[in-house]
Amino acid sequence: MLTIGLTDDLAACHALRRVVFIDEQNVDEALEVDGMDDGALHLLARLDGTPVGCARILIAGDTAKIGRVCVLREQRGKGIGQALMCAVVEVLRARVDIRRAKLGAQLHALGFYAGLGFVATGPDYMEAGIAHRDMVLDLLA
């Protein structure tokens, strides 16, 4: 059974992010561990009680920046990422102080996020050695 919700279990989130970003995608640990987790909201996806994915939300004014979205490789293609992102958007829509969400999507994931209603904006850019493009979602629409 898949469960997704807000969590204080940063150790589980860090472990997932280490596997996906540092080990799999070769992101420098100094970039992944950026010191911003304590001021963020975190969602954790668990499959039969085992952590399989997570996301982080940083809030600045009326904008939520979604980041560190990951699902373990062996669990991809099963709808977990979509369910995780839907949960993130649900959490944000429940807050009256948040008007829009933004994220930096890896280029291979543009279609995934577009399918959830996010719209690409601006040029491509490199972050942590990976090509990205910003995307936004109007939460009031």
Could you tell me if residue 128 is inside a domain? no
Could you tell me if residue 95 is inside a domain? yes
- Please state the domain count of the chain: 1
**What's the pLDDT at 49?**
97
Could you tell me if residue 105 is inside a domain? no
Could you tell me if residue 15 is inside a domain? yes
Q: CATH no. for residue 76?
A: 3.40.630.30
The CA–CA distances, whole Å, from 108 to 49, 72, 131, 139 equal 29, 16, 9, 24
pLDDT in tens, 96-137: 999 999 999 999 999 999 999 999 999 999 999 999 999 999
**Rounded to the nearest 10 degrees, how much is the dihedral formed by the CA atoms of 114, 71, 51, 97?**
-30
Could you tell me if residue 67 is inside a domain? yes
pLDDT in tens, 11-64: 999 999 999 999 999 999 999 999 999 999 999 999 999 999 999 999 999 999
pTM of this prediction exceeds 0.75: yes
Containing domain of residue 56, as a range? Answer: 2-99
